[in-house]
Chain A
Amino acid sequence: MTVEVWTAENTTPADIDAALRKLLEEQHVRGEGLAPARVLNMVTVVDASWRGEILNRLERVGRYHPSRTILCAVEDGRETIDASARLSADGTGDPNLISVVEERVDIRMGQAHLRRLDAIVDPLILSDLTTVVWAPHGHHEAIEAMRGLADVVLLDASDDPNPARAIQWVCGLQDHAYVVDLAWLRGTPWRERIAATFDPPEWRPALRQISKVVVRHRPDSIVSGVLMLGWLSSRLGWSPGSLVEGDSGRRRGRARAGKTEVALELDPVHDLGAPGLGGITLETADGSKLSLDRSEGGLAAKRHTRDGRESSWVVLGASRGEAGILGEGIRQALLRDPTYGPAVRCAGAMLS
């Protein structure tokens, strides 16, 4: 591990930029087999008191770590900017191999700086690379300030305790940037498995016969649940109506699917460990039923056909954990999922 560090108090973005270039030049002069990573710029805005926790999360992201991380730690009452810059390379020690250098800038700033975060960050981002902004502790004003600079907003729509407000906010952001939503990514294995279940040609007609969908979710992951219903609605051409909250947080509603209706249900499940979905059950008009539920080593699948036959199996796959989902979020910043936007719009209709 090679680490180079520069620090300064009451500094300016121009000084930080100059320091980064100098650190890189010094590495080149030493002639080590090092090359700076050029994947993306990651601008992360955090509460100063949680800075270490966020750094740990980014460290755990491992292989998806962005090439230049600009970590803006916000302190109440601070009026000046202090900064440090560091280059680190985690090589194998093999002189024949090139080690990739990651760059990190730590900036301590005040709340007032967030309104012009773009001006502070602009000199520090690598042009021509995708710029991602992530503000895991709220700080929506930082994301607003970065509208002209950020290509991608990384967020977790489940962070907002009000799911309707969260979805509405996401819909607004999508006009300006590509949104990568961790709440959506938690549902990826579920979407893949549902798609696989209905993929054999003999099963595809059943997609038009779905009569009821029940999504089970951790109580704080309503957004993941409603995004799953939104995905099914948008992909299958359903027009969902509002979900109505009933006993124990259960939400029910209906979607119009051509001449028929589909019953939609979100069920909170209290004993789930990790956030996200706990299970999903799809029923068809002819009495078939498919359910997927979290289990050890993957998803437990159970199919009940109209002739009364039952079969169950485990769909293999390791839990990605929250670090894996964050890593996937960063990776998704360089891809484009055309199904998220329509799913969010349907989710919005259900929560209106």
Chain B
Amino acid sequence: MATVEQENPLTEGLERAPVHPTTLIIFGATGDLAQRKLLPAVYNLAHEGALPERFNLIGIARSEQPDDQYRAFAREAIEKHSRRPPDETVLNSLLERMRYVGASFDDPAAYEGIANIARELDDEAGVPFNRVFYLATAPSFFETIAQALGERGLDRREGAEVRLVVEKPFGHDLASARELNRGLLSVFEERQIFRIDHYLGKETVQNMLVLRFGNGIFEPLWNRSYIDNVQITAAEDIGIGTRAEYYDRSGALRDIVQNHLLQLLTILSMEPPVSFSADEVRNEKVKVLHAIKPPAPEDVSKRVVRAQYAAGVAEGKEVPGYLEEQGVATDSETETFVSLRLGVDNWRWAGVPIYLRAGKRLARRVTEIAVTLKPVPHLAFQQSGSLGVQPNQLILNVQPNEGVSLSLVAKIPGARMRVRPVNMEFAYGTSFMSQSPEAYERLILDTMRGDATLFARDDEVEAAWGIVDPILEAWSQSSGPLPQYAAGSQGPAEADAILEPGMEWRPL
């Protein structure tokens, strides 16, 4: 009997661990996500030699077209959206691996087509390829597709792994998220399901884990005794563009807070995991979400502010207000801005207010976490004639100036003991010259590797909806026009109302 090697001695020292041969099957293969993100990400993985040594891609979409026409579509998408100009030889070789099935997602012919092509590719190679089904479709198709895959036995593969990748939104409220999870889990096991939140693929977000758990300096301060408050901001300077249909049904709370901002919050406040395995990390994140008390209905108006952008000036141009945007109803009550105050009720964080803020058409594009430490208990310095001592702030800048900044106070040169805040900056671009891969490159590769660390688990998604749901419920009980803020501004004045006395929002 042949001895099975426990370890592959050849992988030691290699930056890229081997990935099992994989067929990636994209539902919604002609959609915006596939065009702008997925196909370019796959190309860039191919360019770098990071794809599995044997790789195929099957695209599925409603329109009927031969393989060659889909390849022409994919070429155009890659040439237009890839972060690097494509290498013609690599691109040609990649396109040769692409096949296409034209059918609607509820048509059995779609699944027969996939099964036939996938089997043909496996037979041709003499290897059972892993299969990754990527649902880049409208959420209404998630369950339909999962069920259809299950009915045709495509959810399992002898000698290989089958995985399902789901794009947000994972439901539009707690009930629908549970329903979706139930539907997916009736076919696939949780270990097979990868729920993508592309924020987690960002290098700077992953660096938060390293910053917190790889540096001894922060841990002693990372608690209610030293931290006064936290502000997490995801501000965009752009409007809704052509996404009116989606956005008007979603709004800032569902679109940004329920997923991206709560993910940032959990990474910021989770306990150190025992290891960085997928489940250990996600267990700690879920604990944080469970420790966040959702606002009671009567408290929503005191802890949450929503607003819409009005006409204003952005990037030097006059821009319309939300209600004047094409495709938006003139009486829409969808929020383009939301701010809320939460607390993590556990030993580490009890009493520390955590503020979340997200919005469109704000003064600047910035995603950051600002951790403000408590002020020093006694001041021996004269502060007159200077800006004086201000609490230290640690700013984790996710985009666009990726890096970390720590504000300190320093003496102003001169005869008097005058002080002012100064910043100690670590900017990614100054310390790492290498270009960061796109979040989708990392995440697609992780799905092929089967590493779920950077993906949301079912209980995590439901816990996040559990925080947001009471707010949606309270909003559904009230009607009338929302507060407005001028496009290109800092946001609505009403947002200040949820802050503790004496506090201010960090300027954008």
Contact = CB atoms under 8 A, between A and B. Distances in A.
Interface string A275-307: 000000000000000000000111001000100
Interface stretch (A159-167, A197-205, A212-220, A242-250): A197-205
A195 B14 contact: yes
A192 to B, nearest CB: 6
Contacts of B365: 96
A335 B15 CA distance: 10
Interface of B: 2-5, 8-16, 18-20, 46-49, 51-55, 87, 89-94, 124-126, 364-365, 400-401, 425, 427, 429-435
Contacts of A191: 10, 14
Contacts of A315: 49, 53-54
A298 B20 contact: no
Contacts of A339: 12-13
Q: Which 9 A-B pairs have the closest CB atoms?
A: A317-B49, A297-B93, A204-B5, A196-B18, A339-B13, A195-B10, A199-B18, A297-B89, A318-B87
A337 B13 contact: yes
A112 interface: no
A297 B90 contact: yes
A137 interface: no
Contacts of A113: none
A309 interface: yes
Contacts of A195: 8, 10-11, 14, 18
Contacts of B55: 316
A338 B12 contact: yes
A98 interface: yes
Nearest to B95: A297
5 contacts: A196-B18, A297-B89, A316-B46, A318-B48, A318-B89
Contacts of A176: none
B8 A36 contact: no
A35 B53 contact: no
Given A38-B431, A318-B49, 5 more contacts: A98-B429, A201-B5, A208-B3, A237-B9, A311-B125
Contacts of A202: 4
A198 to B, nearest CB: 6
Contacts of B8: 195, 198-199, 204, 207
A189 interface: yes
Given A35-B427, A200-B20, A314-B93, A205 B5 contact: yes
A313 interface: yes
Contacts of A193: 53
Contacts of A317: 46-49, 90
Interface of A: 35-39, 63-67, 96-98, 100, 188-189, 191-202, 204-205, 207-208, 232, 235-237, 296-298, 301, 305, 309, 311, 313-319, 331, 335, 337-340
- Which of B2, B94, B433 has its CB near the most chain A CB atoms (within 10 A)? B433
A345 to B, nearest CB: 15
B93 A298 contact: yes
A196 B87 CA distance: 23
A49 B434 CA distance: 30
A192 B14 contact: yes
Given A97-B400, A205-B5, A35 B430 contact: yes
Contacts of A200: 20
B430 A38 contact: yes
A63 B401 contact: no
A197 B52 CA distance: 10
Nearest to A231: B10
A12 B211 CA distance: 41
Nearest to B5: A204
Contact of A235 (B10, B124, B364, B429): B10
A39 B432 contact: yes
Contacts of B9: 207, 235-237
A24 B12 CA distance: 42
Contacts of A335: 15
B429 A192 contact: no
A39 B431 contact: yes
B366 to A, nearest CB: 8
A207 B90 contact: no
A196 B425 contact: no
A232 B10 CA distance: 8
Contact of A96 (B94, B400, B429): B400
Given A235-B10, A296-B93, A318-B47, A313 B5 contact: no
Contacts of B3: 205, 208
A124 to B, nearest CB: 19
A100 B53 contact: no
- Which of B49, B94, B401 has its CB near the most chain A CB atoms (within 10 A)? B49
B435 A198 contact: no
Contacts of B51: 316
B430 A205 contact: no
Contacts of A208: 3, 5
Contacts of A204: 4-5, 8
- Which of B4, B10, B364, B432 has its CB near the most chain A CB atoms (within 10 A)? B10
Contact of A189 (B10, B49, B401): B49
B40 to A, nearest CB: 14
A114 to B, nearest CB: 28
A296 B89 contact: yes
A37 B51 CA distance: 31
A198 B429 CA distance: 37
Contact of B401 (A66, A98, A337): A98
- Which of A191, A204, A232, A339 has its CB near the most chain B CB atoms (within 10 A)? A204
Contacts of A189: 49
Contacts of A192: 14, 16, 18, 49
A97 B427 CA distance: 11
Contacts of B427: 35, 98, 100
B398 to A, nearest CB: 14
B52 A196 contact: yes
Contact of A196 (B53, B429, B432): B53
B430 A313 contact: no
A67 B430 CA distance: 8
Given A97-B401, A205-B2, A313 B54 contact: yes
Given A198-B8, A316-B49, A339-B13, A35 B54 contact: no
A319 B12 CA distance: 23
A222 B146 CA distance: 54
Given A311-B126, A316-B93, A201 B20 contact: no
B10 A194 contact: yes
A297 B88 CA distance: 8
A207 B93 contact: no
Contacts of A296: 89, 92-93
Contacts of B54: 313, 315
A107 B432 CA distance: 26
B48 A235 contact: no
A319 B90 CA distance: 9
A235 B12 contact: yes
A36 B400 CA distance: 18
Contacts of B400: 96-97
A275 to B, nearest CB: 18
A298 B5 contact: no
A338 B435 CA distance: 24
B417 to A, nearest CB: 24
A207 B46 CA distance: 26
B90 A316 contact: yes
